[in-house]
A and B are shown apart, each in its own frame.
Chain A
Amino acid sequence: MSDATLDREPQAVDDTDRPGPFREFWSYFSEHRGAVIGMWFFIGLIIVAVLADVIAPHAPNQQYRDFLLTPPVWMEGGTWQFILGTDAVGRDILSRLIHGARFSLFIGVIVVSIAVTGGITLGLIAGFFRGTVDTLIMRLMDIILAFPSLLLALVLVAILGPSLINAMIAIAIVLQPHYVRLTRASVLNERTKDYVTSARLAGAGPLRLMVVTILPNCMAPLIVQAALSFSTAILDAAALGFLGMGAQPPTPEWGTMLAEAREFIQRAWWVVTFPGLAILITVLAINVMGDGLRDALDPKLKRS
C-alpha cells in the first residue's frame, strides 16, 4: 500500500469507483453475450414453469380423442387449437412441454441441492480433518466415480424402484463426488492461510472454522459446478425417463415423453422433435450460463 492511499480520508476511499461484488460480477458476466441470453431464457423458463397452469392452453393429460397425432399448426391438417400438434392419445404437446418445464427445473433444483449439501459436507470434513476420515471419504468417492455415471444411476434406480424421486436420488449420488473433490481441494488450499490461523487463534471451533471461515472462500468453483450439474441432472433424468427408469407415464416429463413417442418416429416427427428440442435448449441455456459464470467467478481465469 502506498503512502498516498494512507494519507487519504477513509471516506474518500469509499467514494472511489470500486464496484460492489455483484456489480463486479455482473460486469464480467455481461461481457459474455451468450451467457446473458442463456440467463434470460432460464428466467423465462422459471416463469413458464410457475405459471404453467395459466399459460398452458390445455391440461397436460387431457386426451382429445378426435385429434390423435394432429400435426403442428403450420403443417397441413394442423389447427390453432394444438399449436405443436398432439400425441398418439390426443394430448396437446405444447401444454405437456410447458408442464414438463416444471419437472425439469424441479429435478435440477432437488438434485443439485442434495448433491451440493452432501458434497460440501463431506468435502469440508475430508479437507478439514484429513487423516483416516479423509482417506475413507475420498476412496468412497473414487468407487462411485469408477462406474460410468448413467450405469450407476440405472442400477441404483433398479434397486430403489423406477420413479422420478428415485431417479433424482440416484443422479444426486452419482454427481456428489465432484462436489466432494472440489470442496476438499479448495479447503486444503485455504486451511493453512493466515486468516484461518488467526480465526483459530481467536478461538473459533472446528464447525465455525469450516462453515463460517473457510467455506465462503471456496464458493466460486462450487457455484460454477452447481450450474453445470444442473444441466447434467436434467439430461440424466431425461435419459433415465427415456429408458423407462425415471418419471413414469403419463407424467409430462420430457424424457418420458420421448420414450412414449419412440414408436411414432416414422409417422409423426413432431411427437419426437419437440420434447427433445425442449431438453436441448434448456440444457444449452444452462451450460452457456455456466460458462459465463465460470468466466466471471473463477479467479484463475479472470482477467485482472
Chain B
Amino acid sequence: MLLFVARRIGLLIPTFIGVTLVSFFFIRLLPGDPILLLAGERGMTDERYAALLEQFGFSRPILVQYWDYLVGIFQGDLGTSFVTKKPVLTEFFTLFPATVELSLCAIILATAAGIPAGVFAAINRGKAYDQALMSSALVGYSMPIFWWALLLIIVFSGWLGWTPVSGRISFLYFFEPVTGFMLIDSWLSGQEGAFRSAVRHLILPTIVLATIPLAVIARQTRSAMLEVLGEDYVRTARAKGLSPFRINGLHALRNALIPVTTTIGLQVGVLIAGAILTETIFSWPGIGKWMVDSIFRRDYQVVQSGLLLIAGFVMVVNLVVDVMYGLINPRIRHQR
C-alpha cells in the first residue's frame, strides 16, 4: 500500500513542476509589459518603473527568475496582489472556506440524491421511473448552469421571493469568522436568525453547483448497479431467498459503489469549474469569483498564484481519491 501511494506521488511530481511552469510563464506570456499593466492607464515615472522592475525581478535571466519563483512557492511566498496589496496566500485562505463550504454542500446533495436515484432506476430498469430519471439526468448533464442559476433566481428570488439573490448571509448579521464556514460560524454566533439566513443564502448556489455532479453520479450509479445485478453472487443471494432490500442494498450496492466513489472524487475539477460560474452569478465570495474578478482587474499576480493553488488542490484531491480507490479496491493497488 505504501508503495502504491509512493508511486502515485512520484507520478505527481513532474505534473506539479509542469503546473508551476504554466503559472510562471502565464504572467510572462501576457501581451504587453507586466509592469506597465500594473500601472494601468495612469502610466508611471521612469524611476518607479526601474524600481518595480527590480522588485519583481523581471530584468534577471529567466532561469534565475523561475528558480526564485520555485523557492518562493516552497517558502509559502506567492506574491502580493497588485490591487489589494495583500499577500495572495492570505487572500486565498480567506476565500477558500467559502468555496469549500459551497462545494461540500453541493457534493453532499449530489451524492445523497444521485445514488438513490441511480439505484432506483437500475432496479426498475426500462420502466417509466427509470426513463424519467435518466432523461432528467441527461437534461441535468447538458445544463448550462449559468442559465440554470438565472432561471432559479427568476423563479425563487423574483417571483416567489423565497431566497436571497447574492452573498453568503444577510447584512443584518455580523460576527467574526471562526472557521470560515458560514453555516458553522452563524450557528456559533448565537445570533437569532443568522443560521437561517446563511442556509437561505446557500440553497440556490448549492442546487446550481450540484446539478451536473448529481446527473453524473446518478448515471454512473445506475450503470454500475446494472453491471453488478447481473453477477453470479447477486443471483445466489436471490436464490437464497434474501429480501430484495438486502440484495440490492447490501450485496449489490456495496460493490457498485466502488466505481461511483471514484466518480464522486473526480467531480472536484467539475465543481471548481462550476464554482467559477456559480460564485460569479451569486456574488459568492469564494475563489472562483476571486479568479474571475482578478482576470478582469488584470491582477495577474493573483491569477498566477491562484492557478497554481487551485491546480495543486485538485491534484491533491485526485491523489486522495486514487489512494482511497486503492484502499477499497485491492485489485487496483496491486496492478502495475
Contact = CB atoms under 8 A, between A and B. Distances in A.
A262 B153 CA distance: 11
Contacts of B320: none
A229 interface: no
A150 interface: yes
Contacts of B292: 154, 243
Given A139-B15, A265-B153, A147 B146 contact: no
A148 B315 contact: no
A151 B138 contact: no
Contact of A147 (B143, B277, B310): B310
Contact of A151 (B141, B146, B148, B310): B310
Interface stretch (B60-68, B75-83, B184-192, B268-276): B268-276
B307 interface: yes
Nearest to B295: A158
B150 A276 contact: yes
Interface stretch (B22-30, B235-243, B250-258, B327-335): B22-30
Residue of B146, B148, B310 contacting most chain A CB atoms (<10 Å): B146
Given A159-B26, A239-B277, A272-B147, A148 B269 contact: yes
Contact of A265 (B154, B295, B307): B154
Contacts of A139: 14-15, 18
A2 B150 CA distance: 65
- The secondary-structure label for the interface of chain B is helix
Interface string B35-72: 00000000000000000000000000000000000000
A284 B138 CA distance: 7
A140 B26 CA distance: 16
B141 A266 contact: no
Contacts of B22: 143, 147
B10 interface: no
A299 B292 CA distance: 43
Contacts of B18: 139-140, 142-143, 146
A147 B314 contact: yes
A111 interface: no
Interface in A238-266: 238-239, 242-245, 255, 258, 262, 265-266
Interface string A135-156: 0000110110011111100110
Contacts of A258: 146-147, 150
Nearest to B287: A151
Contacts of B307: 147, 151, 155
Contacts of A149: 269, 273
Given A265-B153, A284-B138, A239 B310 contact: no
Contacts of B314: 146-148
Nearest to B318: A146
B144 A276 contact: yes
A235 interface: yes
A283 interface: yes
Nearest to A282: B142
A287 interface: yes
B197 interface: no
Given A139-B14, A275-B147, A280-B147, A159 B31 contact: yes
Interface residues of B, number: 42
B9 interface: no
Contact of B146 (A146, A155, A242, A245): A242
Nearest to B306: A151
Contacts of B29: 159
A172 interface: no
Contacts of A283: 142, 144
Given A265-B153, A280-B144, A284-B139, A146 B276 contact: no
Nearest to B280: A243
24 contacts: A34-B135, A143-B18, A143-B22, A146-B15, A147-B307, A147-B314, A148-B273, A149-B273, A150-B273, A150-B276, A151-B272, A151-B307, A154-B291, A155-B26, A159-B29, A231-B142, A243-B276, A255-B146, A258-B150, A265-B158, A272-B154, A279-B144, A280-B144, A287-B142
Closest 9 CB pairs of A and B: A276-B147, A143-B18, A150-B273, A148-B272, A283-B142, A284-B142, A148-B273, A279-B144, A142-B15
Given A280-B143, A284-B142, 16 more contacts: A139-B18, A146-B315, A147-B19, A147-B311, A149-B269, A150-B273, A150-B277, A151-B273, A154-B291, A242-B146, A243-B276, A255-B146, A276-B150, A279-B144, A280-B144, A283-B142
